[in-house]
Structures are given as C-alpha cells and as structure tokens.
C-alpha cells in the first residue's frame, strides 16, 4: 500500500472514530496508517487509545514500540515489546 492509500485509510478511520469513539478496532488501524505515513506521535496517541479501550489489542504494543524506538525512547519501546511478546503475538 502506498502513502496515498494510507492517507485515505486515515480519513476513513477518523470518521469511524468520530462515529464510535469507544471502539479500539478503529484506533488500532488508524495508528498503523499513521505510523506508515511517518506520523509517529499521532500513531502513538491512537495506539494509546486502543489499549485504554481494550488491553487485548496486543499488536498495538508492537507498533507503539516501533514508534517509540524511532523517537529514541528506548526504555518505553522495550516495555511495549515486552508486553507484546509476553502475550505471544507478532506484529
């Protein structure tokens, strides 16, 4: 998928979030699309929201870790990777 497609996805998920702000299943893919377009800070915010709503959204830990690692926040990235791996899921 190219960046244009991810931008379209971001718009789609933003509408879904607006309509149902308590659905982790909208925040997580929005975070992935934001991450893929280099908007790591915004992606972390969406992954945070997804995890607040549903701690079982394990893949959000992995992507949030990637964002934090890119930002040089290695300690927080390690925590996220550990939480993801404890659950046995892969990105």
pLDDT band, residue 2 (cuts 50/70/90): low
3-state secondary structure at position 54: coil
Across all residues in the chain, what is the average pLDDT? Answer: 91
Model confidence at 90: pLDDT above 60: no
| Residue 91 DSSP SS3 | coil
Is the distance from CB of 81 to CB of 61 less than 8 angstroms? yes
Q: Is residue 49 pLDDT above 90, yes or no?
A: yes
CA–CA dist 74, 88 (Å, integer): 21
Please state the pTM of the whole predicted model: 0.88
């Amino acid at each position: 998928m190219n960046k244009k497609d991810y931008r379209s996805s971001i718009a789609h998920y933003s509408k879904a979030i607006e309509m149902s702000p308590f659905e982790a299943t909208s925040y997580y893919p929005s975070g992935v699309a934001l991450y893929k377009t280099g908007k790591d800070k915004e992606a972390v915010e969406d992954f945070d929201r997804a995890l607040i709503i549903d701690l079982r959204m394990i893949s959000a830990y992995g992507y949030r870790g990637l964002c934090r690692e890119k930002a040089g926040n290695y300690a927080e990235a390690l925590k996220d990777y550990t939480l993801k791996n404890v659950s046995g899921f892969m990105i």
